A and B are shown apart, each in its own frame.
Chain A
Amino acid sequence: MSRIEDALKKASEKRSESLRPEPAGTAGPVEKGNAFADSAQVSFQETAAMQTEAFERARGQRMLVSMNEPVSLAAEEFRKLKQSLVRKTKRSGFQNTLLVTSGTVGEGKSVTAVNLAISLAQEFDHTVLLVDADIRSPSCHELLCMENGYGLSDCLIEGAPISKGMVKTGIGKLSFLSAGSPVPNVGELLASKRMQETLAEMKNRYADRYIIIDSPPVLPFAESRNLSRMADGVVLVIKEGQASQADLRDTIEALQGSNILGAVYTQASRATRGLSAEAYMKYKYYHHAR
Chain B
Amino acid sequence: MADNKYDIAGQDASFDAMRYLRMVGERKTLFVSIALLIMFAAVVISYMLPRKYEARSIVFIEQNVISDLVKGIAVTPSMDTKIKAIKVTMLSRNMLSQVIKALDLDVSLKNNISLDEMIKSLRGRIAIGLDEKRGVFDIRFADSNPVLARDVVNTLTRVYIEESVSTKRKESFEATRFLADQIDVFKKRIDEARKEIEDFNIASGKVLASNEYVVRNQIEKAQEQIKEIQIQINALEASRKVLLSNSPARARLREQEQVRNQMLARYTESHPRVKQLESAIAETRRQIREEGNDELSIIYSSPEYQNVKVHIQALETQKKNLEEDIAQNKAILDQIPRAQAQLQELKRKEQNEVIIYEKLVSRYGQSEVSKEMELQDKAVSFRVLDPAVIPTIPSSPNRPLIMLAGIAIGFGVAFGVVFLLDIIDPSIKNVDDLREFGIPVLAVIPKLKNVEEERKASRRSLRIYLIGAVGLLIVLAFLGMEFLGIGLVDKVIEKSMAVVRQWRM
Contact = CB atoms under 8 A, between A and B. Distances in A.
B442 interface: yes
A78 B444 CA distance: 9
A274 B287 CA distance: 178
A271 B432 CA distance: 13
B425 A77 contact: no
A111 B428 contact: no
A236 interface: yes
Interface stretch (A37-45, A133-141, A176-184, A240-248): A240-248
Contacts of A62: 448-451
A262 B445 contact: no
B445 A272 contact: no
Nearest to B18: A271
B445 A241 contact: no
B370 to A, nearest CB: 84
B22 interface: yes
A269 interface: yes
Given A246-B426, A272-B9, A274-B7, A264 B445 contact: yes
B10 interface: yes
Interface in A207-252: 235-236, 238, 240-246, 248-249, 252
A194 B352 CA distance: 137
A19 interface: no
Contacts of A265: 431, 434, 441, 443-445
Contacts of B425: 241
Contacts of B26: 241, 269
B442 A271 contact: no
Given A62-B451, A63-B448, A78-B445, A263 B440 contact: yes
B378 interface: no
A270 interface: yes
Contacts of A74: 445-446, 448
Contacts of A260: 439
B503 interface: no
Interface residues of A, number: 44
A268 B447 contact: yes
Contact of A262 (B442, B446, B450): B442
A81 interface: yes
A73 B442 CA distance: 14
Contacts of B2: 84
Nearest to B2: A84
A241 B427 CA distance: 5
B430 A240 contact: yes
A244 B444 contact: no
A267 interface: yes
B447 A269 contact: yes
B444 A272 contact: yes
Contacts of B426: 244-246
Contacts of B430: 240, 272
Interface string B439-465: 111111111111100000000000000
A78 B442 CA distance: 9
A112 interface: yes
B117 interface: no
A261 interface: yes
Contacts of A241: 26, 425, 427-429
Contacts of A81: 442-443, 445
Contacts of A261: 440, 442
A244 B446 CA distance: 19
Contact of A77 (B22, B428, B437, B443): B443
B10 A84 contact: no
B437 A248 contact: yes
B88 interface: no
Given A62-B450, A252-B437, A268 B427 contact: no
B15 interface: yes
A108 to B, nearest CB: 7
Contact of B444 (A108, A235, A236, A268): A268
Interface in B79-121: none
B194 interface: no
A77 B445 contact: yes
Given A240-B429, A249-B437, A267 B445 contact: yes
Contacts of B448: 62-63, 65, 74, 111
Given A245-B433, A249-B437, A273 B444 contact: yes
B290 interface: no
B218 to A, nearest CB: 131
Contacts of A274: 7, 9
A47 interface: no
Given A244-B426, A274-B9, A262 B431 contact: no
Interface string A75-108: 0011011001100000000000000000000001
Q: Which residue, A62, A65, A262, A275, has most C-beta atoms of chain B within 10 A?
A: A262
Contact of B439 (A73, A236, A268): A236
13 contacts: A78-B445, A81-B445, A84-B442, A111-B448, A238-B434, A241-B26, A248-B434, A261-B440, A265-B443, A265-B445, A271-B19, A272-B9, A274-B7
Given A241-B26, A263-B439, 8 more contacts: A77-B443, A235-B442, A244-B426, A262-B3, A263-B442, A267-B445, A268-B447, A270-B22
Interface of B: 2-3, 7-10, 15, 18-19, 22, 26, 425-431, 433-434, 436-437, 439-451
Q: Please give me the 10 A-B residue pairs with the lowest Cβ-Cβ distance, nearest first.
A: A244-B426, A81-B443, A262-B442, A262-B440, A271-B22, A77-B443, A263-B439, A265-B444, A266-B445, A271-B10
Interface of A: 62-63, 65, 73-74, 77-78, 80-81, 84-85, 108, 111-112, 235-236, 238, 240-246, 248-249, 252, 260-275, 278
